[in-house]
Amino acid sequence: MKNKICLVTGANSGIGKVTTRELYRQGAQVIMVCRNQEKALQVKMDLEAQYPKTGGKLDIVLGDLSRQDEVVKIARDVRQRYRHLDVLINNAGLVVQEKQMTEDGIEYTFAVNHLAPFLLTSLLLDLLRQSDEPRIINLSSEAHRMARFQVSQLANPKKYNVMRAYGNSKLCNILFTRQLAQRLQPEGITVNSVHPGFVNSNFGAGFSGIYKVIMTLSAPFSISSEAGAQTSLYLATSPNVKGITGKYFVEKKVRKPSEAALSDYYADQLWQLSEQLTQPDAKLRHLKEREAQPLAE
């Protein structure tokens, strides 16, 4: 991975932290997208101290993925610092026990787990186009099989159920992956999604009540973040997956996702809704106009 530039969202914890570490150890420059400066700096300093001579580089870009203005800020910072991007890993994700709305007025899980990757990817596509072998990897989950997809209910569901909201967002990750892969196939940019396994990370740490009990009881069946990062790393680095696109991977193998995840109708509906809610073309135009302006003295 020497001379490769990779971006990992949620790089300070769990699967994203191991993914960042391994790419850095293999000599990549890793852009760590995190919302918490202290946590991000700690990870960067620890890795640099532990692995001083990888030839790689760690670079922090701060931003809260629940807010579209911050997703734009992340993209602006990346575009200012880099001319190309080889690997984009949309890894950050969460589960929210009670219904919460973001500052943009969108249900939190859907905003962070789907709309943020949709918008960030749209704003970074022209950097990926400059790479010799660009790859996009979206973290999904087997929880997508719990989804009940109703496009009109995604942004502000009338009835909120935590597992349904999470499952829907992870279904969105696969639908987005398939649709984007189709659109980008002529350009040679590959897009795949991943189920990392049931991972003993920080995921669901904020749960209380019955959900906390369920997490505690199921902990013995979980795998480590080390193991959970392996499929993301495989997709980011292996020559075996060159040219493979639009697939859902579990344990480094292609797996058939749910019927809903294979629906082109759902994928189209989701794409339209995501465009309507995030306006990526207008935001990209604005970014480019700013980039074209001469710097103030």
Ligand X SMILES: NC(=O)c1ccc[n+]([C@@H]2O[C@H](COP(=O)([O-])OP(=O)(O)OC[C@H]3O[C@@H](n4cnc5c(N)ncnc54)[C@H](OP(=O)(O)O)[C@@H]3O)[C@@H](O)[C@H]2O)c1
Q: Show Cβ contacts of residue 48 under 8 Å, excluding neighbours closer than 6 positions.
A: 58
Cβ proximity to ligand X: between 105 and 288 the closer is 105
Closest approach, Cβ 150 to ligand X, in A, equals: 21
Cβ proximity to ligand X: between 72 and 139 the closer is 139
Q: What angle do CA 257, 225, 171 make, to 5 degrees?
A: 25
Handedness of CA 90, 283, 111, 58 (dihedral sign): positive
What separation in angstroms does the CA of 280 have from each of 69, 74, 112, 126, 268?
Answer: 12, 14, 16, 13, 16
Tell me if 241 sits within 8 A of 235, measured CB to CB: yes
Closest approach, Cβ 249 to ligand X, in A, equals: 12
The reply to whether 211 belongs to the active site is no
Interface with ligand X (CB under 6 A): 10, 12-16, 35-36, 39, 64-66, 91-94, 112, 139, 141, 195-196, 198-199, 201-203
Cβ proximity to ligand X: between 84 and 211 the closer is 211
Q: Which residue has the tokens 């189920």?
A: 195
E-strand spans in 99-229? 135-139, 190-195
SS3 193: strand
CA atoms of 5 and 14, how far apart (whole Å): 21
Q: Which amino acid, residue 98?
A: E
Closest approach, Cβ 187 to ligand X, in A, equals: 25
Catalytic residue selected from 24, 82, 108, 166: 166
Cβ proximity to ligand X: between 55 and 77 the closer is 77
Cβ proximity to ligand X: between 16 and 157 the closer is 16
Closest approach, Cβ 203 to ligand X, in A, equals: 4
Q: Show Cβ contacts of residue 151 under 8 Å, excluding neighbours closer than 6 positions.
A: 266, 269, 270, 273
Of 117, 119, 176, which is closest to residue 144 (Cα–Cα)? 176
Closest approach, Cβ 24 to ligand X, in A, equals: 16
**Catalytic site positions:** 166
